[in-house]
Structure 1
Amino acid sequence: MVKNALQAQLLKAGLVDQKKAKKLTKQAQHEQRTGQDHRAELAAEINKNQQSKQEKDLNLNAIKQQQLEERTLKANIKQMIQQHKIKDTDGEIGYQFIDENKIKKIYLDQQVYNALVAGSLVIAQAPPSYAILPKALAERIDQKIQGFIIWNQSEKNDQTTDENDPYAAYVIPDDLMW
C-alpha cells in the first residue's frame, strides 16, 4: 500500500519497486519524527532565550529607573541647598574643616562662626563651593541621602574622657584657631 500519490505513479511507471517505496516511506516518517523532536527542542530553546532576554531587560530597566530616581533626588537636594543656604556669610574669621581628607577654609562673619561652632549650623556641599545650612534642614537632607553634609559640629561633641587621664581637666576647644 502506497501512501503518496507520487510513489504510486512511480510504481506504475516501473521506476521504483515496492521495497524501495517502502524504504523511502519509512525514511520520510523517521525524518518527520526526528524533525518534530528537533523542532520542539528548537522551540524550547527559543522560548528560554526570550525569557532570559525579558528578565535581562527587566533588570536593566530597574537599574535605569533607580539611577533616574537617584539623579532626581540629588538634583532636588542641590536645589534645596541653593534655596535655603544662608547668604552673606562672608567675613574675616577663617573656619577650617575637613572635606575628603583635605583641610578646607572658608571665611565667615562672627555671628555665623559662633552658630557653626555651637552646632546650630552645618556646612554642606554646594558645587562649586560650600553652603551654610540650618541644622534641621541638614538632618532632613542627611536622612534622604548621605554625602552632602560635610561638617556637623554637633556630632563631634560626643567625646568621652578616661577616668585616669591626667589631662582630663584641660579641655581642648573645638574652635581653636591654627
Structure 2
Amino acid sequence: MMGLADQLLKAGLVDKNKVKVTNQNKSKQQKENRRSGTETVDEARLAAQELQRQNAEKARLANAQRDAAAQQKAIAAQITQMVQQNKQSKGHNGDIAYNFTFGTKIERIYVTPAVREHLVAGRLVIVGEGGSYELVPRVIADKIAERNPDIVVRVKQATTEVEEDDPYAAFKIPDDLMW
C-alpha cells in the first residue's frame, strides 16, 4: 500500500526534502507528546471515527428492524399453522347463526346446535384469521392469544352474580336466548 507522501512524490507535487522535513517534524511532535504525556488531537481521525460510529449505529438499527419483521412473519406463520392443524368443523349445513364481536364489528357464523353448545361452554373458541373465522379448541386458542391476542374472540361467560344497583336485576335472561 502506498502512503500519501509516496503518492505526492509520484505526482510531482512535493520533493524528497519536503517529505523528509515533514516526517521529521511529525516524529519530533510524537516524541514530544510521549515525553510530556499530552496527545495532539487529530480532528480528521476523530471525524472519521464519529462517521464510522454513526454508520455502525444505522446498520444496527436496520438489522434490528429486519429481525423484528422476520420475527413477526414467523409468528404469523406459527399462528396460521396452529389454526390449520387444529381447526374444528362448524358442522355441515349449520343452521344456527352464532353472533360474536370481533374488534368493533358484530360478525356471524352458522353452526350446528352441538357446535354452538361447545362455543357457549368455552370448549371451542373463534379465531379470526385472513378474513375468515375458524373454530379451535381452547388450549390452542390460548397459545394463539400468547402470540397475537387481537385475533382470538373471547366469549364472555354468563355470570349469575347480580349487582346491587342493577335496574334489570328482576329480569332474568333465558339460557336459550340467541341474539
Same-fold call, TM > 0.5? yes
Listed as ranges, the gaps of 5+ residues in structure 1 are 8-24, 34-38
Aligned position for 1:66:
68
CA contact (8 A) 1:117 1:174 kept: no
| 1:67-86 to 2 correspondences below 5 Å | 67-86=69-88
Question: How far did 1:89 drift?
Answer: 2.5
Question: How far did 1:100 drift?
Answer: 2.7
* TM-score computed with the length of structure 2 as normaliser: 0.69
User: Equivalent residue of 2:149, what SS?
Assistant: coil
Question: How far did 1:176 drift?
Answer: 3.0
Aligned position for 1:145:
148
Amino acid at match of 2:166: D
Structure number with greater CO (CA < 8 Å, separation at least 6) is 2
Listed as ranges, the gaps of 5+ residues in structure 2 are 1-14, 30-40
Question: How far did 1:116 drift?
Answer: 0.6
User: Equivalent residue of 2:65, what SS?
Assistant: helix
User: Equivalent residue of 1:46, what SS?
Assistant: helix
Aligned position for 2:166:
165
Question: How far did 1:175 drift?
Answer: 6.1
Query: In 2, distance between residues paired with 1:68 and 1:117?
Result: 37
Aligned position for 1:176:
177
Query: In 1, distance between residues paired with 2:70 and 2:17?
Result: 66
Larger Rg belongs to? 1
Runs of 4+ displaced beyond 4 Å:
4-7
Matching residue within 104, 115, 128 for 1:125: 128
Q: 1:174 to 1:121 in 2, by over 3 A?
A: farther
